[in-house]
Structure 1
Amino acid sequence: MTTAAAGASAGAPRLNVDPFSVPSLQDPFPVEDAIREAGPVVWLESHGIWATGRADLVQEIFLDQETFISSHGTGLTNTALQDNWRKPSVILEQDQPQHTVTRKLMNSALSLKVVKQLKDDFQAAAHAMVEEVCSRGEFDAVTDLAEAYPLQVLPDAIGLAPEGREHLLTYAHLNFQAMGPRDTALYEDAVLQAAGAQEYVEWQMRRENLDESKLAGTFFAAADAGTITEETAGLLVRTFLSAGLDTTMLGIGNALLALSRTPEAWAALRADPSLARTVFEETLRCYAPSPFIGRTVGTRTKLGGVVLEPEQKIVNCLSAANRDPRRWENPDSFDITRDVRGHAGFGYGIHACVGQMMARMEAESLLTAFATHVTSFEVTAEPVRKINHWLRGYTSMPMRVTLR
């Protein structure tokens, strides 16, 4: 039985919507809501895949890593059946027991102790950048702050060489575009934009091009100890290059836009900049910068009353789950007073985002600095959406500020 036939015969709701079309990416919530409300698990005819936007089922899938596996790719492509454009991630696209070894090393590199050691430097850099950029009065909040700040502090912390960092954005853009459908102009354009970026990443992964006194050194020390191979150490560095920047950048931009549209939230943050972490968490819930994650069915199972067959793909619609009215009261409202514990922005279980502490520290540092130095601000023109299959945010956000 073909995948399409299996989906059609399972008795699940069938939707003829495409969450990865350009119109859907421009205005995503109506399609996500349709997926979530059509049933616990739905069949998307546009791509021949399963999807769920229900908060409880998203959590169930994340926590059952034996049934819903990651090693066959976490996008739409089943990488066990089709060639991938790059070698698999040694963390995100690994199952147990291999996942435990590399995850443990990444946890060590990004431990709470390490993050605390970096905090003073990150905060100082945030205040310096906010003061300099905001002194202009008008600027682009995405390119001048939300992108510029992580692009400065994270590569420095990893130990990347100073040259070639302009390739990081185009490489990550391709990485996330490739998680969606690949028979699209969006994917083809991303490949063209990333010309030279793949070669840069291959170069930057090599030991001789890294500062081993920084985070990258943890991985190569493990290689010297025989815990992992040197190739795996390089691939762990690549994890930072392909997944450690974009979601944080987009999350910061989304937070600034949400604050501009929610005066009471901005007033609260301006009065108490320590609320920056709370603002970022509600942003992740309400405007998730990473709206999807895929799994492959590893063994025949039933989910939400629907039978799923091995090798079928199921997409967790994280943004839809984060606005599931069964889980959240007034889910479409940006409310920094709500208890946001349990949102799916960073996932759950063994594959929860390994860099979430770093992302939170970056966002908290920049939002704190912004609230400390800025009295008022406004977005002066309609922000330009980033059109990417697997990311959500903006590429431009003109802004005007007044300083304290």
Structure 2
Amino acid sequence: MTAETLAVKAPVLDLDPFSDDFLTDPYDAHEQMREAGPVFWLERYGVYGVARHDEVARVLTDHGTFVSSRGVGISDFVKEKPWRPPSLLLEADPPQHTKARQVVTKILTVKLLRSLKDGFQAHADELVARVAAQGGVVDGVHDLAEPYPLAVFPDFIGLSKDGRENLLPYGSMVFNTFGPRNGHFERALERGAAAQGWIMEQCRPGSPSPDGLGAQIHAAAAEAGFNEEDQAKLLRSFLSAGVDTTVHGIGNALQCLAENPEQFTALREDPSLARAAFEETVRYSSPVQTFFRTTNKATEVSGIALPEGSKVLMFLAAANRDPRQWENPSAFDIRRKAAGHVGFGFGIHACLGQMLARLEGECFLTALARHVSRIELAGEPQQQLNNTLRGLDSLPLRLTAA
């Protein structure tokens, strides 16, 4: 029985989740998808979709049925050649994925991250205090959300000081190519092409500084039996997701706080809420909106039959506003217990850098609470359109220094 035959059992939706209108403002469409049913068929692309929290979590955690090795984008690697060598972390299944992930997790420990906090906090305090003291209108993206991760993350990895601007177009390229070959895909490939050479050079064994995480990953990977090419791939996988998502998380947090002044007041009064504020941002305005999986055998989800080889598009951001999971989900509330959101994924493929992203987000928002007494929009935010990510190109803000 074909996917098309079985698909009549699922509601059929004529939505384009990669159109400019959808990417600009997806929330009405998210509600339509959630209310259509636990599983639906997206006619335009010939893929299934899940937008409710329970079904998204089911697909994420059942890695034996919904595999990543066939691609976490719209392309099925069994049927078409990937545009680049697959990631050893993101686009792999056990046991290959387990071996690669263990290399990084045994280095990226809670103890290590705790040792970074003072330095990360000092950098955030300096940046936010300096920008707030300038007065006038600032750009929350270019003046704050981008410079902070582009400093602390590459320093941590041990990357060259020169060329770090390549990290953003490279990450944008990777995430755009999970979608269809549309204008965003093509433009990202064009912009990212120049960045690829720098990224490849930075990931080569011997290139990162010996005291950084990159060199530690190379050494641990070599000890685990990875050749030099795969050592570079492993670090590249970590880099591709380590900056854009954090930049967007911080930018989205700034927008949320500017648009909800009572929430910023709460943060100012209690800076210990910074961690929760970043967590709520990831739930409310998820930097990673979607990911795909592929069924490696016939299965079912909530009574809907899916044949082998079905592409399943998980709407993480829609799940994060599912009223079946959250009370008043369309409200931004930094006191909310946001644990359980799927903004960083679930299961064995949960975001490997989520602890680092949370540390950066917490330090930045703590600095904002310390050094800014008022934050308000000074113009219309400009959305950055990406097939997978949600973030801003520009965020005009007026900050009042504390």
TM-score normalised by L of structure 1: 0.97
SS in 2 for 1:109: coil
Q: 2: distance between equivalents of 1:372 and 1:227?
A: 47
The aligned amino acid for 1:344 is: V
Q: Is 1:286 aligned to 2:280, yes or no?
A: no
Match of 1:171? 170
Match of 1:68 among 66, 80, 87: 66
Match of 2:396? 398
Partner deviation per Cα, 1:238-290 (whole Å, 9 max, x = no partner): 12321111111101111111111112211110111111011111111111110
Give the C-alpha shift of residue 95 in structure 1. Answer: 0.5
Closer, same or farther: CA 100–376 of 1 in aligned 2, 3 Å: same
The aligned amino acid for 2:160 is: A
Give the C-alpha shift of residue 387 in structure 1. Answer: 0.4
- Higher deviation after alignment, 282-291 or 217-226: 217-226
The aligned amino acid for 2:75 is: T
Q: 1: distance between equivalents of 2:92 and 2:326?
A: 32
Answer yes or no: is the 8 Å Cα contact 1:19–1:32 preserved in 2. Answer: no
Q: 2: distance between equivalents of 1:6 and 1:162?
A: 55
The aligned amino acid for 1:192 is: E
Match of 1:272 among 270, 273, 292: 270
Q: How does 1:308-323 map to 2 (within 5 A)?
A: 308-323=306-321
Match of 1:156? 155
Give the C-alpha shift of residue 390 in structure 1. Answer: 0.1
The aligned amino acid for 2:341 is: H
Match of 1:48? 46
Answer yes or no: is the 8 Å Cα contact 2:34–2:51 preserved in 1. Answer: yes
Match of 1:95? 93
Q: 2: distance between equivalents of 1:103 and 1:226?
A: 11
SS in 2 for 1:209: coil
Partner deviation per Cα, 1:310-339 (whole Å, 9 max, x = no partner): 111001111111111111111111112221
Q: Is 1:389 aligned to 2:387, yes or no?
A: yes
The aligned amino acid for 1:124 is: A
Give the C-alpha shift of residue 140 in structure 1. Answer: 0.5
Q: 1: distance between equivalents of 2:195 and 2:335?
A: 42
5+ residue gaps, structure 2, are none
Match of 2:141? 142
Q: How many residues align?
A: 401
The aligned amino acid for 2:392 is: Y
Q: 2: distance between equivalents of 1:6 and 1:213?
A: 56
Answer yes or no: is the 8 Å Cα contact 1:204–1:210 preserved in 2. Answer: yes
Give the C-alpha shift of residue 31 in structure 1. Answer: 1.4
Match of 1:212 among 205, 210, 213: 210
Partner deviation per Cα, 1:16-69 (whole Å, 9 max, x = no partner): 011110111111111121111101000001111000011111111111110000
Match of 1:124? 122
Q: 2: distance between equivalents of 1:219 and 1:373?
A: 36
Answer yes or no: is the 8 Å Cα contact 2:206–2:215 preserved in 1. Answer: no
Q: 1: distance between equivalents of 2:186 and 2:2?
A: 28
Closer, same or farther: CA 226–241 of 1 in aligned 2, 3 Å: closer
Q: 1: distance between equivalents of 2:307 and 2:222?
A: 42
Q: 2: distance between equivalents of 1:344 and 1:8?
A: 26
Answer yes or no: is the 8 Å Cα contact 1:7–1:43 preserved in 2. Answer: no
Q: 1: distance between equivalents of 2:2 and 2:306?
A: 13
Q: 2: distance between equivalents of 1:241 and 1:322?
A: 25
Answer yes or no: is the 8 Å Cα contact 1:384–1:394 preserved in 2. Answer: yes
Runs of 4+ in 1 over 3 A off after TM superposition: 6-9
Q: 2: distance between equivalents of 1:256 and 1:220?
A: 35
Q: 2: distance between equivalents of 1:58 and 1:134?
A: 40
Give the C-alpha shift of residue 235 in structure 1. Answer: 1.2
Answer yes or no: is the 8 Å Cα contact 1:285–1:345 preserved in 2. Answer: yes
Match of 2:260 among 254, 259, 262: 262
Answer yes or no: is the 8 Å Cα contact 1:69–1:297 preserved in 2. Answer: yes
Q: Percent identity, please.
A: 46
TM-score normalised by L of structure 2: 0.97
SS in 2 for 1:326: coil
Q: 2: distance between equivalents of 1:329 and 1:272?
A: 23
Answer yes or no: is the 8 Å Cα contact 2:117–2:359 preserved in 1. Answer: yes
5+ residue gaps, structure 1, are none
Supply the RMSD in Å over aligned alpha carbons: 1.3
Answer yes or no: is the 8 Å Cα contact 1:36–1:54 preserved in 2. Answer: yes
Give the C-alpha shift of residue 223 in structure 1. Answer: 3.8
Closer, same or farther: CA 224–12 of 1 in aligned 2, 3 Å: closer
Q: 2: distance between equivalents of 1:273 and 1:343?
A: 22
Match of 1:296 among 290, 294, 312: 294
Answer yes or no: is the 8 Å Cα contact 2:261–2:375 preserved in 1. Answer: no
The aligned amino acid for 2:177 is: A
Partner deviation per Cα, 1:184-219 (whole Å, 9 max, x = no partner): 111111112123111122111112321121101222
Q: 1: distance between equivalents of 2:154 and 2:30?
A: 34
Match of 1:241? 239
Give the C-alpha shift of residue 227 in structure 1. Answer: 3.2
Give the C-alpha shift of residue 172 in structure 1. Answer: 0.7
Q: Is 1:339 aligned to 2:337, yes or no?
A: yes
SS in 2 for 1:56: helix
SS in 1 for 2:134: coil
Partner deviation per Cα, 1:341-393 (whole Å, 9 max, x = no partner): 11111111111111110000001101100110011121100100010010001
Answer yes or no: is the 8 Å Cα contact 1:244–1:355 preserved in 2. Answer: yes
Match of 2:328? 330
SS in 2 for 1:116: helix
